[in-house]
Structure formats: structure tokens, C-alpha cells
Structure 1
């Protein structure tokens, strides 16, 4: 039997790449590629909206926390860190007191905010601020950079928002704050999760619903959960995905609503919906239903 010619194979591959796939929730492979590798690029179905007004950006908790930190650094520069390289207690409490991000252990009194590691949000903030080049460490002191000073200008706020999001999603390692075996779940394809939330988030759906869609799109991630002692691989994936994507991810950017309880965002049966902020921050091109 004669093998198909190269032009025939190329045409078949082209048709496949342009065909919506059920496993990609209606997106084609050609649409998934930029969503993975250039999540907010010009070819992606998820785009950041331009010229977002201040009243919208004011609702982004992690952006507000970053701005508060930069203002603190501007006031205190140089800010001397502890011998372990962490923020001193008084600054931790000042940042947390803004109330932009609440954490269950601190709110319930399970522990007090004595060290930087007591707050995952502030630990992440410290790391992302330096990764973004907004602050730098010099001989045990944290200094606001020229870039940080420039982006504190209200006229540059949209650029700061874009930088904070890019740093959090592409440079900061989401797996650094948990003990799950996978280094990639949640962060790989994070923009696909935004797509899913925009597509289905008008009605409440449980974490397991979104995790199942994620697993269908990226079936290889299931193989990273190999310890069946407490849960099945799918259950482990669902918990990991819920923690990283929702509890410590999209929730920190105000994309979940209304007022989700952070303590249960990783639970498989926890219903989630999209906040109005998602559509105000992102332009998401939806595939046909």
C-alpha cells in the first residue's frame, strides 16, 4: 500500500491543528500552543485588556499588596532584613494589616505573624518583587530599584500590573510553597485555567470539575502522582491543582467570587465561580459551545 505523500500528510496535520478538540474544551491544538508557551501573547485566546481603569486595578489584591510593599521600601530604603534574609516582623504586620490578602492560620489565631514564613502571601510577595527587578538585595539590605520607583508612578500602573502578573505566573515557582511531587501542575497551562473559569464560571462548579478539565488537557501530569497511600493519583492532582490554581493563584488576583473562603479552595467539592473582575482584566476568546 502506497504511503501518503508529504503534502497529504501536511494537509492532514494542518486540519488536525485547526480542529477544535473536546479534550481542550473546544480549543484547537493551534490555539492551545500559544496559550501554553505565550499565555498572553498576540496569538493567545487569553489577553490582558488594555487601559484598565484604576477602579478595576484597585480590586486586584496581590497588585495592591505589591504596591504597598514598594511604598514601604520607598519610605524605608534601605530596609535591613533579618540575618536569615527575611522581612522584619514590624513590616510583616504592616503589610498584612492592609487586609488585601487574608490567610486562615493568621485569621483564626492558629499562629501569629512573627516570621516571614508565617505568611505565604508575603513570602511570595518578597520573592516576586525581587524577581521582577522592583527591589534588589545589597549586603543584607533591600533597596527599591529605579524600575520600582518608576512603576510606582500612577501613570505606569498598568505596566506594573502586567509585570506583577507575568512574574507570578512565569518566573515565580508555584511549587515552592507545598510538598506535592509535581513541579508543574497548575503553573503549566495557568492561562488555560483562566480560559476555563471564563467559560464556566458564570455558574458555580466544584474544584474537581476544573481539575478534570485540566487533566484531560494535560494527561501527562497524572503520572507525577505516584504515592497511593492516602489518595488516588487523580485525587492528589485535584488537591494540588486546587491549592495552586485557586487558593494561592487566581484567588490572589481577585478572579474568584463572591468572596471565596481561602481555607477550602482546594477541597474537591468546593464550588467556585468567576468574579466580575475576570472579564474586566482579561479578554478571553471563547470556543463555540
Structure 2
């Protein structure tokens, strides 16, 4: 019998069937695997419990290691690894620390904060609103021409990379939030402080020491809906590696949305049908804003053309992979 959406998946992952990546296969569904197990059990009346459990484990293991068309050729086992494994156990992807961060807004902004703290004994004063000081904001704005996104830079009032205060520079504010999540920076008594351990790392290892901790904070602990007003709870952060791999493969936003829906069809159930748009279009906008613009572009991994509309329809957009992406992520699939 096919499991209900809220039942535990029969693959043994201990996750709900609707959440589990193990229950799909281009040739054999989870229901077919259960049928195979049932036939084996019925045709072997003298089967011991131990032998039966061994058969079940081997059957599901073989099933989970087969390429899955819904996962663009990844096996359910590989997909589960990218969804649930800690960083040090990720398979078929290597995440490197690049030699230079000259093109990365996030890392350049972090360097500004660390340098400012170093110049003042490990801390610097915050504004009355608790934001980064004007001096640092001006330095951050001045970096825009050095980033690839500068070719699409619009008026300063709508730029994510330039502005008059921290609140008007989304990429800068994002970096400060990540630095706090990653345990590098904290605010106390009107000042921003760099933790003593982080100061020592910076003095001995340089900016490279913080690339992986910042990236891990961005993908594992940061709220991707922080900047937008969508009420829907769509967890794109959990599928970031899958999306990253697919975008690197074809660089196109529209197919990426379809691939996410095919791999995780339940994701549309979190989006409401509206008079002016569909759940699919909503998801596409979320992927563009949360994943591409306010993750990959903030980091300097890709740049994407500004959103343009023709005949009330958004023109399909394409991402341009940057050298920093190639230096950081190497996929082996």
C-alpha cells in the first residue's frame, strides 16, 4: 500500500514520505519496491526474519543508488546527501576556499569590518540605530565599480551594493548579519566587537579563515526570506546545492524552477493560487530573488541581468557564472 503524505517513508529514512527524497525512481517507484518485497516474502515461506530484513535493506539500497530522472540523474541517495548531510560529509562536490576575494561583495565587506575593528583595538562604534558607521558604509559603496554587478548598476537608491547607510545597502547588511551568525562579530553596548578568536584568526590566516564559516552560515542558518515580504514558508536553503549544480549546468533561471518543482513537487503546496500569478511563477520569483540575487550575486558567484518585462511578462533571465564560482565549487556528478 502506498504510504500517505504524513506517514513515515518506507525507505527507512525516518522522514515523512512527502519530505523524503528516497521515494522516487525513473523506473521503479517506492510502491513498486514494496510490491517486490511482498512478492519475495510470499514466495519464500521459510524465510527467517534476519534474511528478510537483509533482503529489504539490500532492495532499498539498490533502489536508492539508481539514477533518478526527476533528480536530473542524481540517485535518491545522492540527493539525500545534499539535502541532509553536514558539510564534512557532502559527496560529489568539493567546496574550496579561493585564493582571492576581490570580486566578492560579501568577503570585501567583511574585510572592511575586520579592518575597522583592528584599527580600534577589536571594536568600533555603531550608529545610534545599531548599524554600521557612516565611514564604513561609504567605503563599501565605493567598492561597487570593482564588482561584476557594476555593469548593471542603477541609481544609488535602488542598488543592493551602494547607499547612504547600512539599511540601504542590502548586501552590506546581509554580510553583517552573516558575520554575527557565524560568530565573528557581535554588538554590545553601542559597539561592534570582533571575537578574540576571530581576531587571532584574521591576524594569522587572513580573510580566508572566514570564507567557509560565512558560507556555511549563509546556507545552513540564515533565513533566506529575511529581505522579502512573502508570507509563504518555502525552504529553498535546503536545496541550495541541487540548485547550484543545475544553474552551473545550464545557467538559465526558467529551467531551474521547473527542475526544482519536478524534484520536489510538494514545494508548490506551500504557495497559494492568486489572481495575478500562479504558484509556479511565485516560486520562480523566489528562486531569482532569494537564491540568485541575494545569495549567489551577493557572494560574487554569478551575475544576472536586471528584471525586464515585455507585454506584462517577465523576460527570461540567464545567470553568468563568475570565476569565483568555478574556484569555489567543483561538482563530480
Q: Which structure 2 segments of 5+ residues have no match?
A: 1-37, 42-51, 309-313
Alignment of 1:1-289 (within 5 A): 4=41, 5-38=52-85, 40-49=87-96, 52-54=98-100, 57-76=101-120, 77-99=122-144, 107-110=154-157, 113-153=163-203, 155-201=205-251, 205=252, 207-256=253-302, 259-262=303-306, 269-286=316-333
User: Could you tell which deviates more after superposition, 232-241 or 155-164?
Assistant: 155-164
**Structure 1 position 6, deviation (Å):** 3.4
User: Could you tell which deviates more after superposition, 183-192 or 158-167?
Assistant: 183-192
Structure 1 residues 268 and 18, CA gap change in structure 2 (3 angstroms): farther
Decide whether the 8 Å contact of 2:92 with 2:331 is kept in 1: yes
**Structure 1 position 240, deviation (Å):** 0.6
**Structure 1 position 121, deviation (Å):** 0.8
Deviation string 1:118-148 (CA, Å, 9 cap, x unpaired) is 1111111121111111112111211122133
Cα separation, 2, equivalents of 1:104 and 1:140: 37
What is the aligned residue count?
A: 275
Deviation string 1:88-130 (CA, Å, 9 cap, x unpaired) is 3333222221226668998414468344221111111121111
Q: Which structure 1 segments of 5+ residues have no match?
A: none
TM value normalised by structure 2 = 0.73
Which structure would you say has the larger Rg? 2
Decide whether the 8 Å contact of 2:236 with 2:287 is kept in 1: yes
TM value normalised by structure 1 = 0.84
| Equivalent position SS for 1:142 | strand
Cα separation, 2, equivalents of 1:220 and 1:269: 24
Decide whether the 8 Å contact of 1:186 with 1:241 is kept in 2: yes
